Structure 1
């Protein structure tokens, strides 16, 4: 895997290269830069590498400035002596954030993660859709995990998405029911909730119900090729999956 190293400390560079040699023979170091200016010039004059190791604090500023001048379309492993930039690193193709001095285990874990994401076993080139993979990971990070909902009086209380078994519409009002069968009023529409929640966990079975996978106890066959979903808590009415949605529901489940 063709690899670029961006590092301005000679001792750190020697250490990183030594650990790379110990961990992976599949990494081919094709370039080394030690400043923002040199790094920008390197990207502008060379083909895109398959992996970048990037120190954050360089002699002439923060390495994040590089992304203001060039579009880096490959996975990045950040290397730094500081830990306050981890969140920012995540937004620029970072697959790992390694604190110096870098050791064998940390690097191996980072490369294992890269292999899992992109299928790079045996030093093979990551597939072209790496950016799509990163986009999906970032999107998943943005899904709601908690909501603030009105309670009695003038209070708002936090509700964990993990506790919610289903959402439904009753007389034009959206409600959520949790694992204790308690109901809460939501201001969002079901359409809005579909966008806010992870589609791996929730499925819009019809116009009235949005259900969590973990809430399902079993599924009954119904008339005309439809299904009835049975949940762990009582529901106001039968939850019916139309014939047109049965295949999609089975694929989701």
Structure 2
């Protein structure tokens, strides 16, 4: 299998390369910009599979497909779940949310390999997906959550939630009043339910509300530590792979 990685953050690209190697998938070519990718595709045979980051240092990676007719299969590595997950699914495109989880990566690779004998080429409508990134679908996000308190159901408005987090295989919300409530859901399901300008997934365990951030502090290994208004039960750390997207989200 001929695989390449297109990712502007070199540490993230190397991490993905190592993760793929554990799955016996070699990705010997790593590209880091739109311009570099276009030049490479013009002078090399196209790969079987591309791991593609959406936002590169010099523009959206879809600009590559505006110039080059690429038939390779694509697995997106993206932080833009709030805009395009529905499009990826409709177009049968695999995607991995950063920071990439090893189990999810293995599932995506297996999914590609299972489909391989059935397909001669992959035709994707990148223009439709690009338009969704620039002009996201208007949709309704959750305004409240219901939680069980004893024999009762309690409604909690979204504005009263500081963060969502996972712990001991459970998913919890933490309110501005300092209370924690167990949810009958998972962080993955919350991806499509939370308004993306308000909530951001800083790592595999946490979504934070931008309005609940009290302080942001530099942390080890190029990470960031977040102080929330009332939540202080454990450290809230922005994963290194998410720092760039987190800073963009703040603005």
Q: Specify the TM-score bucket, using the shorter chain as the normaliser.
A: 0.3 to 0.5
Say which one has the larger Rg. Answer: 1
TM-score w.r.t. structure 1 length?
0.45
TM-score w.r.t. structure 2 length?
0.45
